[in-house]
Structure formats: C-alpha cells, structure tokens
A and B are shown apart, each in its own frame.
Chain A
C-alpha cells in the first residue's frame, strides 16, 4: 500500500514535469531538452535554500524562478541568437549541470532535519487526522504521513492545473497557444513570436523546476543526476495522457498529462515489483515513447494500402 501511495505521489509531483513538457513539446512543438537540467536546478535551489534555513515556500518559489530563467535562456538562444532549438536546449542543459553543482557545492544535498513542504504536510495531516496512527481507508491500512503527502500534492497539482487551464484562456494564454499553432497568424495579430517563445519556455521550465523542488522535498534530497532521462519520462506521460483523453481541448489535455504521469508512474512501480531491472527502466521508457511516436504512422501506412473511398478532404 505504501508503495502504491508513493507511486501516486511521485506521479502527481512529476505531473509538473509532464505539464512543462506538454507546453514545450506539444503547444510550441519545440523539443526542449532544458528540462533535464531545470528539474535538477529546481531541486538544487530549493534544497540548498532549505539547508540554509529559508522557509519551504520561499525555497520552492526560488526553485520555480530558477527554472523560468533557464527556460528563458534557451528561448533567447533560439530566437535571438538563431541557434537550433534542440541545440539551444542541449547547451543550457549542459551548462546547468555545472551550475547545479555550484548551487549545491556537492553532488547531493540531503534534507534531514529541515522544515520542508513534506514535513509541513505531515504536520497538518497529523493535526487533521488526529495523530500519526495508521488510517483505515476502505479496509486498507494507510500511514498518515503517506496520506497527508498524497493529499497535499494532489491539492497542489489540482490548483496549478486549474490555474494553467485558466491562464490558457486569458489574452496572453491564447496568444501562447496560437503561437504554437500558427506563428505567421499570431505575428500578423501583432504578437512577437520571439517574446512568446521565451516566455513560454520560461513557464515550461518553471513548472518543471517546481516539480524538481517538490520532488527533492518529498524524497528528502537533491541530486545532480536526478534530471537524466526526465524529458522522455515527461513525454511518455503526455502521450499516455493524450491517449487517455483522446481530445485536443486544452482542459482535457492538461488533465490527461496529469493522469498520464500518474498512470505511467504506477505502471513503473508495478513493473519494478514484478522484477523489472531498474537499470532497464530508461530503455523501456524510451522504447515506449518510440512506439508511441512510430505506431500511429505505421498504422496509417497499413490502413492506407487499402483503397478507401472518402470525400475530398479539401
């Protein structure tokens, strides 16, 4: 049960990663690799500030801000310095590796006795549930720590998901979506595509760094290696989410990305439980994304062979 709750919680935390990837990969169609560095940056900044005695909210917000800055740099490299998008992300990601080491001044920062969002959630949970004894939820024994953690993360993601959905319906938010959809159109409406891309990549990496900051507090440490493979991870979540909701509406896709992240994490937990070698996890994730990318094309090619009579699509 603890394992299940843990998977749910991490899945929800990494939904922030999925939302960031959804923004860059899907809305902007921009293959942003910065994510691998910015998730670690968020964790590194938050953990370091916590150790220095800053409050958890300040530390988490600073992690978010770090991600915004990293994403904005990638956006500037791409738009102002005309560097290929993928390469811009790789440059920033590589630079972030050193920066993260500098921020942490070592490769791993443990959070032992610091007050974090996690310990605060526990405290609130203990007050609400009246003690730290195990709870009985539908006949399952559930630890108060795990339950309060899950509830806190669930609340956070719900609020952020709704906020993001509402943001996409504002003047600025619709301009962001239109920029990804048709840059020529939005430029003709007087919007600087460069500015929007910088802003959007900032927001995307801010969300991802926020995920890193929360993850560090949940697992109790920040590690310089924690970002490796995260882009593919987020992409897998987004793809699962799209399959789950099967729609192009923004609200459903945001919900889908969150659900995809949770489902993906659960699948991973089950696979590991069944004896999957953890070393193979990234290989299998990559294969999954590969299949999800190639599958639809393959299917199309197979069905296209059959002569079908359709009305003229134009």
Chain B
C-alpha cells in the first residue's frame, strides 16, 4: 500500500528559475493496484516518481509504503521496497558488466552485500531461465556486456531486474518512450505479464494514450504539479483515447487564461 500525503516540491526556490513541480499531490494506492499516470509535458509526472523513489526529499508531505514512513529514507534505502525502470535504457543497467552480473546485482536488491560469490551455479541457472522467458535469445549471451545490447533488450532486462525480488512498488517512467515501436510493444507486453503474474503495485507514467487505456486499473491525469482527474474501476475501463485527449484539450483551453485565473477556476471547479 502506497500513501502520498500532500507532496510538495519546488526546484530552485526563490530564484527566477523556481519551478513548483509538485503542488500538493495526495494519493492512496491499494496493494496490487496498477496506476497509469498521464499528463502534459512538465506536469510533474517524473518528479512524482522521483519523489517516491527518493531521488530527492519532498519539501512537505509524507510518503508511506508497505507500513513504513519512508519520507526521510535515502534513495538506496527505499530501493529495498521499490523496483524501478527508467525512461533512458542506459540508466538501469551497468553497461560494462555482463548480463549475468547485472542480474546478480538485482537479485540482492536492498540486501547486504558481503564476500559471498556474486554468481554461483544455482543463481546462473535461475537467471538463465528468467532471461529465457524474455524470448529474446539472450540466455545464450549471459556473459556478454549489457552495453552491447539494444535499448529494447536492455529495458526488458531492467524490467526483469526491477521485478526479480517482487518489490512492494514498481515504478515505470515512460520506460518505452525511447524504444522503437516494436521493442516498445514487446516491453509493454512483458511489463503487463510481470505485473499481472506477481500482482505488483505499480506506478506507470506513459505518454501513449493506447497504453493508458489498455493497461492498469486506475488512471490519473496530472497538470502543473497536481492531480486533475482520477479514474478507477468502471470509469477507467470505459475510458477511450479520445476521452483522454478531450480532457487534455480542456486543460489547454483553460491555460489560455492567465495562470491566476486558471488557478481560481481550478479551485472552484476541479
């Protein structure tokens, strides 16, 4: 269970570059829930995921995950509970290390690391099976450096790594945006499979309306650091790409007013 309580984050406060990236985001996510996040560019989607992952501390607000108050936990401490796939396929793996070594590192996510061998025969067999399940023919290349693989292959492996130790929360930030359509499809299908199979509580940011309507059991739309709408259950299941696009159009219309007017309107109507 994830609980976000009134999260606020301002970058470069008090300077001309001040950005109020999160302006009071509250959200309660049931265990096993798969939340899709969409929103305009710069609306704070990545900032929200980074805040949950601990890339930085929020200015105000509280974050609870799986019974822990993790608001003040460092990023590497939260990693015990959180698996993560980044937008950039280069971010999630150590390029000069082998597939097997990368997987072995993920097999100890958040656990102490001592002088035991990183790879043993049993672990190799296990990870070979998991890599085989990707159907990418990588199981025969376990000792190749990950840097030699394509973005799609790296993203699929990162997903496998993030979900290896069934995390309390899986964070996916436009993790297919940098891939060609075919790889993106493959990685999305894989994500869906893993999330379903392991019933992972998931936050997934996407810019694809197709993904937004076909995946997940709940959908939020963000704008200017706030959650504008929250669709669940039947509403979510009914939502069509056109509905979402229309909603974006409304937001764009409203933005034609001066920001302060928009703010007032929003307070009054949203």
Interface residues, chain A, CB within 8 Å of chain B? 167, 169-175, 177-178, 181-182, 184-193, 248, 314
Contact B91 A185 (CB under 8 A): yes
Interface residues, chain B, CB within 8 Å of chain A? 53, 74-77, 79-80, 83-84, 86, 90-97, 101-102, 104-106, 108-111, 113-119, 145, 150-151, 161-162
Q: How far is the CB of B194 from chain A (nearest CB, A)?
A: 17
**Bound CA span A253–B208, Å:** 45
Assuming A175-B105, A189-B105, A190-B79, is B94 touching A182 (CB within 8 A)? yes
9 more A-B residue pairs beyond the given contacts A170-B118, A174-B97, A174-B105, with a C-beta to C-beta distance below 8 A: A171-B108, A171-B115, A172-B114, A178-B105, A184-B86, A187-B76, A189-B108, A193-B76, A314-B151
Q: Which of A167, A191, A248 contacts B76 (CB 8 A)?
A: A191
Q: How far is the CB of A172 from chain B (nearest CB, A)?
A: 5
Q: Which of B91, B145, B161 contacts A248 (CB 8 A)?
A: B145
Contact A171 B93 (CB under 8 A): no
> What residue of chain B has the Cβ atom nearest to residue A170's Cβ?
B115
Q: Which of A170, A186, A192, A314 contacts B94 (CB 8 A)?
A: A186
Contact A190 B97 (CB under 8 A): no
Contact B97 A181 (CB under 8 A): yes
Question: What 7 A-B pairs have minimum CB-CB distances, sorted nearest first?
Answer: A190-B110, A190-B79, A181-B94, A171-B113, A178-B94, A174-B118, A182-B94
Q: Which residues of B contact A175 (CB under 8 A)?
A: 105, 113
Q: How far is the CB of B101 from chain A (nearest CB, A)?
A: 6
Give the most central of A172, A182, A185, A193: most B CB within 10 Å.
A185
Give the most central of A182, A185, A189: most B CB within 10 Å.
A189
Q: Which of A174, A177, A178, A188 contacts B79 (CB 8 A)?
A: A188
Contact B79 A189 (CB under 8 A): yes
Assuming A189-B79, A189-B109, A248-B96, is B74 touching A174 (CB within 8 A)? no
